Chains A and B, each alone.
Chain A
Amino acid sequence: MHAADGGVRPHFRALADWLAETPADRVAEKRREADLLFHRVGITFAVYGDAQGSNEGSNAGAERLIPFDTIPRVIPKAEWDALVQGLRQRVSALNRFLHDIYHEQEILKADVVPAAQVLTNEAYQVSMLGLDLPNGVYSHVSGIDLVRHEDGTYYVLEDNLRTPSGVSYMLENRKMMMRLFPELFARQHVHPVEHYPGLLLETLRAAAPPAVRDPVVALLTPGQHNSAYFEHAFLAQQMGVELVEGGDLFVKDGFLHMRTTSGPQRVDVIYRRIDDAFLDPLAFRQDSLLGVPGLLSVYRAGNVGLANAIGTGVADDKSTYPYVPEMIRFYLKEEPILQNVPTWQCKRPQDLELVLDKLPELVVKEVQGSGGYGMLIGPAAKKTEIEAFRARIKANPANYIAQPTLSLSTCPTFVEQGLAPRHVDLRPYVLSGKAMKLVPGGLTRVALREGSLVVNSSQGGGTKDTWVVD
């Protein structure tokens, strides 16, 4: 909000004025109203291992509200436009990379990315070899996590190319802000994000087999007990497509169908919100009840589209992440617009030595970890925690990467003591179909604990509305 010289950054002007002239109790009242509305609509998420089985038949105990902060995060349009350039470039390169590693593997032959890094990765899917996808798109929905350094530079923290979630909060947060503070929207032009479901549907339809004229899309969910079920149901409803579970689908005569009251109906595109391993018990995990037997064969025959494609995980793995700038140079012959956070790979002996040496200053993450689980934040950790982590890294170095603790920019946030600066990140959603589309905004997550850098909802993070303003 404030520039280095202590003055209010210009795009925050309208908001700062409004905050200054609005009585505190009115703002507090609005916050309570927001809580109530979120509860009533049922925008909740489930926390794994939380209050399970305490009362049978009711899963109310496991449903929690993600804290919503009423102070928006504001990004000037010019800053956003630069971000968009960088995001398009990065996601293009990632899609090119995915196409390449499942076809000619030129980047491996050129040794820009080590072959072992790709081919021995557990997310690499041999079943994808040689398969051509419509528009060459593998990651139709990409969530790119960004952080902004104090000096104003944006860094990519990680790429999410499997089943990135959270976009429903972006949409619901905006709806809530417009409902609670209409006068704020009158003061300045906030670029709209509400057309996201329409763009998503367009993107999904572009993933259909090319011969299909009017593709039928369905959203595949693991079911109502999944932590993101609210989002699945919400998006299906917003797009006007069926929300299906594995049991609703079956394969017959080489095509995918859903069971409806008026007989089988063909499905051309599956927006799947379940992991690769559970998609098809005949091809992947045999014990999976969430998927559809035979789905992979229909996919390989080109009779159904999957978004995202199978095997995208190899490109968003934290051990692949350090190579993304090289991918951009290799495929696009361009310099990366968005920077990576400098990353040490513990599998390299010289990196490992440095990491173990500077452990109390670093952030260490598991290669396959997500959701803020299994990470160490050196400056915030107790000595015993650091030593325990040191032992784990030594036992399996290839499983860890380390990064410097960035001095992240903050955003004013309501906490118990009033307004205070808290660290934020940003996840814009990049849609890749016939063309690339983004809505101006994304999900801003905020670490509610003072000094904390972890914004994941499972670790006590909250969300904010994200405004791109002129």
Chain B
Amino acid sequence: MLSRVADRIFWMSRQMERAENMARILGVTSNLVLLDTGKLQEQTLLAPLSITETEAAYRERHDKLTLPALIEFMALDEKNPSSIYSCLKWARENGHAVRWLITSEMWETLNASWLEMRAIPRNRVTGAGATEFFDWVKERSHLFRGVTYGTIVRGEAFNFSRLGTFLERADNTARILDVKYHILLPSVEDVGGALDYYQWAALLRSVSAFETYRQLYRDQIFPIKVAHLLILERRMPRSLAACFDQVKEAMSRIRGQKDEPAKRLASELHARLSYADVEEVFQGGLHEFLTAVLDDIGELGSRIQRAYLGAV
């Protein structure tokens, strides 16, 4: 497959997945912010910007940190390259460039999502219609993934689409889990208190894992178990281990040349996330562990780009 074409398919899939994850992050923030006041509220609003590393860009455009302004920036701002608006736009643009190599159902899904996105009234998204909008974005992403899985021929286009989807998802799960690092509790007494509970519960809900947690652990919500679920539990489809099962599988099907550095790193990450000990992770610091994983995911992305996608 042409590198340019593979690149388009890889990014098309990443962008749809990223749009979904942006919606998830904003969804949980909108919930949490209702529970907080004062300084804590400020931290809650800051967290999405910290984990997506976009605080500076936000400050350039907005003086105050408010929920409507945050949603405006992360969902609708066309100058923000990871806003939902930008993701849907570029996913469609990439799809358009390769519409002869993807199925017409895939193209129609991308195209319709983008056309609907443009028609949605902005003040509804930043106001009363926020939750409805986030649900819509998630649905479009589910639809696109399902249509892709259900229609595309099993070949390089499929492999690169899967690779893009799960690399992006791993990146986002790691970032969402790291959000707790950015929201410090006001005092030590609050640890394990009601506020702490709601924060962890919201986090689980943001990755559709609340029910799964109850089902698998039948227990109170403990940070170490949440971490276990989102890092190691491969039955949980958004966990890092589950994502890397898919990444590794997609990569094993791709036939490349001089792609050992990429394949080696993918296998290393897969092994680390399969056999990590969650106690050890906490001893060394969850934030430090996640930072290392995120760095490696970034490096893997660059190596994939070099090995297959024609980056010079």
Contacting pair A259 B93 (CB below 8 A)? no
Q: Is A201 interfacial (CB-CB < 8 Å)?
A: no
**Set of chain B residues within 8 Å of A243, measured between Cβ atoms:** 100
**Set of chain A residues within 8 Å of B81, measured between Cβ atoms:** none
Contacting pair B3 A224 (CB below 8 A)? no
Q: Is A57 interfacial (CB-CB < 8 Å)?
A: yes
Which of chain B's residues 169-209 have a Cβ closer than 8 Å to chain A?
none
Contacting pair A57 B93 (CB below 8 A)? yes
Q: Is A242 interfacial (CB-CB < 8 Å)?
A: yes
Across the interface, A57 reaches (CB within 8 A) one of B6, B89, B100, B309, namely B89
Contacting pair A244 B2 (CB below 8 A)? yes
Given contact pairs A224-B96, A224-B97, A261-B160, A248 touches B257 in the complex (Cβ within 8 A):
no
Which of chain A's residues 435-463 have a Cβ closer than 8 Å to chain B?
none
Q: Is B120 interfacial (CB-CB < 8 Å)?
A: no
Which of chain B's residues 83-119 have a Cβ closer than 8 Å to chain A?
89, 92-93, 96-97, 99-100, 114, 118
Given contact pairs A242-B2, A258-B2, A260-B3, A233 touches B93 in the complex (Cβ within 8 A):
no
Contacting pair A237 B100 (CB below 8 A)? yes
Identify the closest chain B residue to A223 (Cβ).
Answer: B97
Q: Is B218 interfacial (CB-CB < 8 Å)?
A: no
Q: Mark B255-270, 1 if CB is under 8 A from A, else 0.
A: 1111000000000000
With an 8 Å Cβ cutoff, the count of chain B residues facing the other chain is 24
Q: Is B122 interfacial (CB-CB < 8 Å)?
A: no
Which of chain A's residues 137-153 have a Cβ closer than 8 Å to chain B?
none
Given contact pairs A224-B96, A224-B97, A260 touches B89 in the complex (Cβ within 8 A):
no
Contacting pair B4 A248 (CB below 8 A)? yes
**Set of chain A residues within 8 Å of B257, measured between Cβ atoms:** 262-263
Q: Is B128 interfacial (CB-CB < 8 Å)?
A: no
Inter-chain pairs besides A236-B100, A242-B2, A259-B4, 18 sampled, C-beta below 8 Å: A57-B92, A224-B97, A233-B100, A237-B100, A247-B310, A248-B2, A259-B2, A259-B310, A260-B2, A260-B3, A261-B1, A261-B160, A261-B255, A261-B308, A261-B309, A262-B255, A263-B257, A263-B258
Q: Which 9 A-B pairs have the closest CB atoms?
A: A263-B257, A261-B308, A259-B3, A233-B100, A259-B310, A261-B6, A261-B1, A262-B255, A57-B89
What would 18 A/B residue contacts be, using CB atoms closer than 8 Å?
A58-B118, A224-B96, A233-B99, A233-B100, A234-B100, A243-B100, A244-B2, A247-B310, A248-B2, A259-B3, A261-B3, A261-B256, A261-B309, A262-B1, A262-B256, A263-B256, A263-B257, A263-B258
